[in-house]
C-alpha cells in the first residue's frame, strides 16, 4: 500500500472533523465530534495541528493522528484509521512516522491512553515500545441524592489547576494535569471545602462529570474528599454523576466511599521514552 501523511493544518476544520469521525467509526464508545467540540479539545489539550497528521492511503485521507505538546513531552491525543484502511498495516506505518517525528523534534517522551478492552490498539502501542504506567478507571452514580451539608465555596478553576500542579501526582493523565485543568472554563465550575477541591462539568446538566478531586497533603486521610463529593451532590441533587475513565486506579477508593459504582470500561496510561 502507498501510505503518506500530511500536516493536519493543511486541511479545513470540517474536513478534519469528518476524518476523525470516520476514523472512530465502529469504536468501543460512540465518537461524534462537531467543529466546536473539536476546537475545544484542541484548545484544552494543547493539540498542535501543524505536527498532527492526516494519513493518506493511495492519496485519499484514511486516518488522523492528533498530537499535543508540552515542553519535552508529546501526547497522542487521538488516532483513528478509517474502516477501509484497517487491517492492512496502516496503524503500524502511521505510528512509526509519528514516533520518528517526535524524536526529530528532540522530545523526551510520548504518552497516550488506550481503552484496555481495545486489544488491537493496545498491542499496536505495545509493539511500538510503549509501556504501561497504570490503569485508569471510571465511576458512575445515578439519580444521586445526599444530605451532607458542608461549607462549599465556588472558586476559580485556575486555582485548582495550580494546586494540582503543586500537590497532585507528577504523572497524572494529560487531561487531569494542572495545565489542562487551568484551561477548563465555565459552565464547568470548581468548589472548595476546607482543604479539599473539586472541578465538575456544567452542574445544570442532567449528567455531570467530576473532572478532578484534590485534597492538600497535610489534610489527607480524613475522608475530606469523599465528604466534598457528597456535599457537591447534595447541592445538585437528582443527577447522574460520572468520573471519566481517566482516574488513576489507586485513587478510586474515595468514590467507592461515596457510593459510586465502578464502570466496566478502563484505560491503560502508557509512555514511550524517546
Mark whether 192 and 72 lie in a shared domain.
no
> Do 145 and 260 fall within a single domain?
yes
Q: Are residues 145 and 262 in the same domain?
A: yes
* Residue 130 is assigned to a structural domain of this protein: no
- Listed in sequence order, the residues at least 6 apart from 157 whose beta carbon sits closer than 8 Å to its beta carbon are 181, 182, 184, 185, 188, 189, 190, 199
Q: Does 166 reside within a domain?
A: yes
Same domain, 94 and 151: no
Which spans in 128-270 are helix H?
A: 157-167, 178-182, 224-235, 253-256
Look at residues 121, 186, 114 and name the one whose alpha carbon lies nearest to residue 155. 186
Show pLDDT as tens, one digit a residue, over the chain (274 residues). 699 999 999 999 999 999 999 999 988 788 899 999 999 999 999 999 999 999 999 999 999 999 999 999 999 999 999 999 999 999 999 999 999 999 999 999 999 999 999 999 999 999 999 999 999 999 999 999 999 877 899 999 999 999 999 999 999 999 999 999 999 999 999 999 999 999 999 999 999 999 999 999 999 999 999 999 999 999 999 999 999 999 999 999 999 999 999 999 999 999 999 9
- The pLDDT value recorded for residue 123 is 97
* Residue 121 located in a structural domain: no
80 and 164 within one domain: no
Does 145 lie in the same domain as 72?
Answer: no
Query: What number of other Cβ atoms are within 10 A of residue 171's Cβ?
Result: 12
Structural domain of 93: 3-107
**Distance of alpha carbon 140 from alpha carbon 166, whole angstroms:** 28
Domain match, 93 and 176 both: no
Q: Are residues 142 and 103 in the same domain?
A: no
CATH number at residue 213: 3.40.630.30
Q: What is the pLDDT of residue 29?
A: 82
Establish if 272 belongs to a structural domain.
Answer: no
What's the predicted TM-score (pTM) here? 0.95
122 within domain boundaries? no
- Domain contains 30: yes
Same domain for 31 and 146:
no
Same domain membership, residue 169 and residue 64:
no
Number of domains, the chain: 2
Q: How far apart are CA 35 and CA 41, in angstroms?
A: 10
Please say which residue of 68, 84, 107 terminates a domain: 107
In 3D space, the residue among 134, 114, 133 whose CA is nearest the CA of residue 124 turns out to be: 114
Q: 71 and 153, same structural domain?
A: no
What backbone phi and psi angles, to 5 degrees, belong to 131? -120, 150
> Chain centroid to CA 57: how far?
28
**In this structure, is residue 38 part of a structural domain?**
yes
Amino acid at each position: 500500500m502507498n501510505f503518506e501523511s500530511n500536516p493536519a493544518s493543511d486541511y479545513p476544520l470540517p474536513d478534519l472533523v469528518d476524518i476523525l469521525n470516520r476514523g472512530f467509526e465502529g469504536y468501543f464508545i460512540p465518537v461524534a465530534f462537531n467543529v466546536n467540540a473539536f476546537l475545544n479539545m484542541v484548545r484544552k489539550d494543547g493539540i498542535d495541528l501543524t505536527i498532527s497528521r492526516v494519513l493518506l492511503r493511495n492519496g485519499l485521507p484514511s486516518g488522523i493522528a492528533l498530537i499535543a505538546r508540552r515542553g519535552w513531552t508529546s501526547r497522542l491525543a487521538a488516532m483513528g484509521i478509517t474502516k477501509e484502511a484497517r487491517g492492512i498495516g496502516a496503524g503500524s506505518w502511521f505510528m512509526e512516522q509519528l514516533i520518528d517525528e517526535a524524536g526529530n523534534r528532540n522530545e523526551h517522551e510520548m504518552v497516550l491512553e488506550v481503552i484496555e478492552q481495545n486489544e488491537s490498539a493496545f498491542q499496536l502501542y505495545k509493539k511500538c515500545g510503549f509501556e504501561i504506567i497504570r490503569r485508569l478507571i471510571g465511576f458512575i452514580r445515578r439519580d444521586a441524592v445526599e444530605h451532607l451539608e458542608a461549607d462549599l465555596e465556588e472558586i476559580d478553576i485556575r486555582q485548582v489547576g495550580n494546586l494540582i500542579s503543586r500537590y497532585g501526582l507528577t504523572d497524572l493523565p494529560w487531561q487531569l494535569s494542572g495545565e489542562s485543568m487551568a484551561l477548563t472554563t465555565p459552565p464547568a465550575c470548581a468548589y472548595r471545602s476546607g482543604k479539599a477541591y473539586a472541578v465538575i462539568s456544567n452542574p445544570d446538566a442532567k449528567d455531570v462529570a467530576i473532572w478532578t478531586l484534590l485534597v492538600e497533603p497535610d489534610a489527607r486521610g480524613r475522608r475530606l474528599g469523599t465528604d466534598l463529593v457528597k456535599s457537591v451532590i447534595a447541592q445538585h441533587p437528582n443527577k447522574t454523576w460520572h468520573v471519566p475513565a481517566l482516574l488513576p486506579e489507586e485513587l478510586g477508593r474515595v468514590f467507592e466511599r461515596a457510593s459510586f459504582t465502578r464502570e466496566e470500561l478502563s484505560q491503560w496510561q502508557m509512555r514511550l521514552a524517546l
